[in-house]
Structure 1
Amino acid sequence: MTESLLPEGIHTVEMIFADVFGILRGKKVPAAQWARAQHEGSHIPGAPLYWGVRCECPDESPAGGMDEGYPDMVIMPVPETLRTVPWRPGIAQVWCEIEDEHGNPSPLCPRNALKDVLREFEVDGIDAKIALEMEFYLLDRETFQPLMSNMNTYGVYDSSPYDAVLTDMMKNLVDYGLPVEAGMQEYGTGQMEITLRYDSALRAADDAILMRSAVKELAAKHGLVATYMAKPFDNESGSGLHVHQSLWKDGKNLFDAADGPSEYAMHYLGGLQKRIGEFSLLGSWSVNDYKRRQDFTLSPTTDSWGGDNRTVAIRMIEAHGSYRFEQRDACSTSNLYLTVAGQLAAGIDGVRNAVDPAPRCELNAYTDPTAKRLPRTVLEGIAALEGSDLARKVFKPLLVDTYVDTVRREYDAIMQPVSEIERARYIGAV
C-alpha cells in the first residue's frame, strides 16, 4: 500500500465509514499515529452495521448481539480518498474499508455490497455513472420549524437567512472537493437541494454521503438543523432521493442508439421497473418514509415510467441525443450504497434476461389503471424484499437478514408507543 502523507497543518485524521443508515461514523486519529493507522487500521465494534438510528445496540440480531459481545470489525483507510475539511481547520478525513478480523471484506458493509455489484459491470468493461439528488429541510434548531412561512421555490434571494446559508454551504462543499453543480430552494417551505455532478457509481455515492453529513455540520454552524427526514411536515413536500444512471463502455453511452434509446436501454428499464417494488425497502426504510409516498404529491406511488413526467417512478431523460434514467421512489434518508446497488443490479438483470418494460405512461401516473402500486408501508416493503429472488443473489444473505431485522426494530420503536394523534383522535370519541 502506498503511504499517504498528511497536508501541512493537519493535526487529526477522521477515519470514516457509513453505518447501516448511511450515517458517517469513525474514529479520530492524531497526526502522529497516521503512518501506523494506514497499515494497521483500527478495531471498532461491528454494531454500527446493525444498530438503531440512535445507536441502540440490539440484544440480538442475525449479525450478533449481547450474547456474542458485539465483536469487532476493522476499518482500513483508503489513503487516496484523504481530504481536508475546510470548515474545521486541521482536520482531514479518509474513507475506510470495513473488514472482518481475518482481513476479509465485511459481508455487512453496505459500501462493500455496492462494490460487489460493480464488479459485475467491470467484468464487461462497463462504467456505471450515477448522480444522486437529495432534498433536505433547514429548520430552526429550537422549534424545528422553517425560518419563514412562505415557499420561495427557485428563489435566488429572500429576506430570511436561507440565501446566505445555502451560498456558504455550496462554497464549503466545493472547497471540500465535491463536484457541486447547483443549489436551490425546493418545493417546500425551508426545503433545499444541492446537486452533485454525475460520476462513477462508488465515487458518486461516497461524495453524496459526504455532502449529506457536511450539510448537517454546516447548518449547525449557522445555528440551524438540516434534516433529510422524508416527511417532516404533513402539509409540505417530502424529501426524495432521485438516482440518475447511465452505463458507459469505451466512451459510449450504452443507452444511446442512432434513432433513440437502445434495446439495451429498454431492457435495463425493464429490470428497473420489474424490481422497483422488491427493492423498495432499500430506499425507504422508516414509517416516515412511506408517509412521503402519497398520490398527487410528485412522489411516485406506482411502478410507472415515462419521459419528462414527474408523476412517474422512472423517467427516461433525453439530452442532446443521449439517454439516462432517473428513478424517483427512494428517500433522502436511505443508505445510498444499498439504494444504488439495488437499482444497478435490477437494471443489469433486466439486460441479461431481456426484460421488456410495460407501456410508457403518457399522462398522470397516479390515475394509470395499468401501473402496479409500490409498497405503501414498511411491512409491505419487508415482505417484498424477503420475497425477492434477486435480492439474495445480489446481496449476501446475512446482509439482507440483518438489514430487515434492523428495519423491523426501527418499525417497532415507532409503532409501539401511543402517539398524541391517537389520544386526540380517540379519547372522547370511543
Structure 2
Amino acid sequence: MKLPEGIHTVEMVFADVFGVLRGKKVPANQWPRVAHEGSHIPGAPLYWGVRCECPDESPAGGMDEGYPDVVIKPVVGTLRPVPWRPGVAQVFCSIENPDGSPSELCPRNALVSVLSEYEKEGIDAQIALEMEFYLLDPETHRPLISQMNTYGVVDGSPYDAILTDIMTNLVAYGLPVEAGMQEYGTGQMEITLRYDRALKAADDAIFMRSAVKELAVKHGLVATYMAKPFDGESGSGLHIHQSMWRDGVNLFDAVDGPSEYAMHYLGGLQRRIGEFSLFGSWSVNDYKRRQDFTLCPTTDSWGGDNRTVAIRMIEAEGSYRFEQRDPCSTSNLYLVVAGQLAAGLDGVRHQLTPGPRCELNAYTDPNAKPLPRSVPAAIDALRGSDLAREAFPALLIDTYVDTVQREYQAIMQPVSDIERTRYIGAI
C-alpha cells in the first residue's frame, strides 16, 4: 500500500471489544516495513473495560499470563487520509496471533468467518447500518437546545451548521453518506450510510462512529452513542438493513412477493433475536432504552412498514430487505452483524418459518415473545444458544460474557445518588 502524497503519519486502527477505535501512530518512513510485517500490541483491548481497565483474570488471559501480544496488520483497500487532520491517514487492521493465525478474540474476524459461510454458497451479503447519537455540551452533558426539532432543516440552532460540517468531512473521508437529520430526541442526530458488502459496510460504520466523535470535539461538543442518556428522550438505536445477493439477483425477491429464501431467513432472525441480544445491548443503560411504546423493540415481532416491530420487512418497487431494530448504537458492530447474518443463514439451512406477522402495535401483540430486559437475562440467553457456540469461537463468547459481566458489576455495585434520594427519609 503506497501512501498518498503529503502523508507524514499513518494511524493503524482496530476496534476493541466495544467497537471503539484503538491503534498506533506510525511515521511515514516506517510505513513500508509495518505495512508488510504488522505491529505487535497487547491483546488486552479485546477484553478490557470501557475505560481500558485490564482485568486481573479473564478467559483470554490476565495478569498471570502477562497480557500477551497480538499482531495488527493493515487491511488492503482501507487506507484513507483524514481530511480534518492534514498529513494523517488511517488504515484498518486485522488482528492475528503471533503465529499468523486469526485471533479468535477479534470480533471482526468473527464476522469474516460468518461471511465465509455465505461465500461458500456464492452469496453476497449486503447491509446498511443506521446509528443514532446525541451532540451535547461537554461540561453539562445537556443538549444545546431545549426542544427537539425532528427532521428540522433550519431551526436557527448551532446543530444546522455542525451537522452539515460533520457530513461534509465524512464524505471527504471517503464514507458513503446518504443523509443526515435531527432525530426524535433533543440534540439527537442520525447519519445514514449507503448499503454495501457486509464487511466493508461494518468497517465504514466503525470509521464513521469514531470520526463523528472527533469532529464533534472540533465544534466544542461531545458526541455520545450512549443508548439512553436522558429520561423522557428517545434512545439511540442501531438499525441494520440486510439483503442477500447471488449473481446480481436479490434472493429475497420472488415474482409475487418475498421469496421462500426470504421467509426462512426471517425465521432465523426471529428465532435467534433474543439469544444474540447481548451483542447489541451489553450495558445496564442499553436496557433502559428497551421500553414499551418508545419505538424501541421489546419483542421478537416482525411486520411490514411498522416501527413498533423488531424486524421490518421493507418492500420497495418489488424488492425486499429486512431491517432489524433492537440493537443499540453502543454495540460492537461486527458482533451484531455477525450474529444477525448467522441467524439468517441458520434459518435458511434449517428452513425455519417466522411466527405470525404483526399488523398493529407490536407492544400489545399476543403472538410476540419478549426480548431480554436485563444484562443477566441476555447473558443467560447467549450462553444457552447452540448457534452461538456453532458460529463463534467458544473463547470469544466466554471472554465477551466475562467482559460484559465486569461492566455490569461496575455499574450495579456502587450506591447511587438516586438510591439515596429515594430511600433516605422514606424508609
Same fold? TM cut 0.5 = yes
- Given the alignment of the two structures, is residue 177 of structure 1 paired with residue 183 of structure 2, yes or no? no
Mapped partners of 2:336, 2:49: distance in 1:
18
Deviation above 2 Å: which 4+ runs of structure 1?
none
Q: Deviations over 1:275-328 (max 9, x none)?
A: 000000000000000000000000000000000000000000000000000000
Q: Deviations over 1:133-181 (max 9, x none)?
A: 0000000111000001011000001121100000000100000000000
Amino acid of the structure 2 residue aligned with 1:308? D
Q: Post-superposition shift, 1:40? A: 1.3
Mapped partners of 1:64, 1:156: distance in 2:
51
- Given the alignment of the two structures, is residue 415 of structure 1 paired with residue 421 of structure 2, yes or no? no
Match of 2:313 in 1: 316
Match of 2:210 in 1: 213
The number of residues matched between the two structures is 427
- What does 1:277-356 align with in structure 2 at a 5 Å threshold? 277-356=274-353
Match of 2:266 in 1: 269
- What does 1:121-160 align with in structure 2 at a 5 Å threshold? 121-160=118-157
Q: Post-superposition shift, 1:80? A: 2.1
Q: Give 1:14's match in structure 2, choosing from 11, 14, 35.
A: 11
Q: Post-superposition shift, 1:79? A: 3.4
What are structure 1's unaligned runs of at least 5 residues?
none
Mapped partners of 1:39, 1:136: distance in 2:
37
Q: Give 2:31's match in structure 1, choosing from 21, 34, 55.
A: 34
Amino acid of the structure 1 residue aligned with 2:415? V
Amino acid of the structure 2 residue aligned with 1:176? Y
- What does 1:157-236 align with in structure 2 at a 5 Å threshold? 157-236=154-233
Q: Deviations over 1:230-251 (max 9, x none)?
A: 0000110000000000000000
- What does 1:115-126 align with in structure 2 at a 5 Å threshold? 115-126=112-123
8 Å CA contact 1:307, 1:315 repeated in 2: yes
Amino acid of the structure 2 residue aligned with 1:62? P
Instruction: Normalising by structure 2, report the TM-score.
Output: 1.00
- Given the alignment of the two structures, is residue 102 of structure 1 paired with residue 114 of structure 2, yes or no? no
8 Å CA contact 1:268, 1:355 repeated in 2: yes
Q: Aligned-residue CA RMSD in angstroms?
A: 0.5
Q: Give 3-state SS (helix, strand or coil) of 1:362's partner.
A: coil
Instruction: Normalising by structure 1, report the TM-score.
Output: 0.99
Mapped partners of 1:113, 1:291: distance in 2:
28
More displaced stretch, 73-82 vs 282-291: 73-82
Q: Give 2:375's match in structure 1, choosing from 372, 375, 378.
A: 378
Mapped partners of 1:76, 1:340: distance in 2:
22
What are structure 2's unaligned runs of at least 5 residues?
none
Mapped partners of 2:50, 2:172: distance in 1:
30
Aligned-pair identity in percent equals 81
Mapped partners of 1:94, 1:371: distance in 2:
43
Q: Post-superposition shift, 1:262? A: 0.3
8 Å CA contact 1:38, 1:79 repeated in 2: no
Q: Give 3-state SS (helix, strand or coil) of 1:111's partner.
A: helix
Match of 1:259 in 2: 256
Match of 1:50 in 2: 47
- Given the alignment of the two structures, is residue 79 of structure 1 paired with residue 76 of structure 2, yes or no? yes
Q: Post-superposition shift, 1:72? A: 0.4
Mapped partners of 2:254, 2:366: distance in 1:
31
- Given the alignment of the two structures, is residue 59 of structure 1 paired with residue 56 of structure 2, yes or no? yes
Mapped partners of 2:29, 2:348: distance in 1:
50
Q: Give 3-state SS (helix, strand or coil) of 1:390's partner.
A: helix
Q: Post-superposition shift, 1:266? A: 0.3
Amino acid of the structure 2 residue aligned with 1:38? A
Mapped partners of 2:179, 2:154: distance in 1:
15
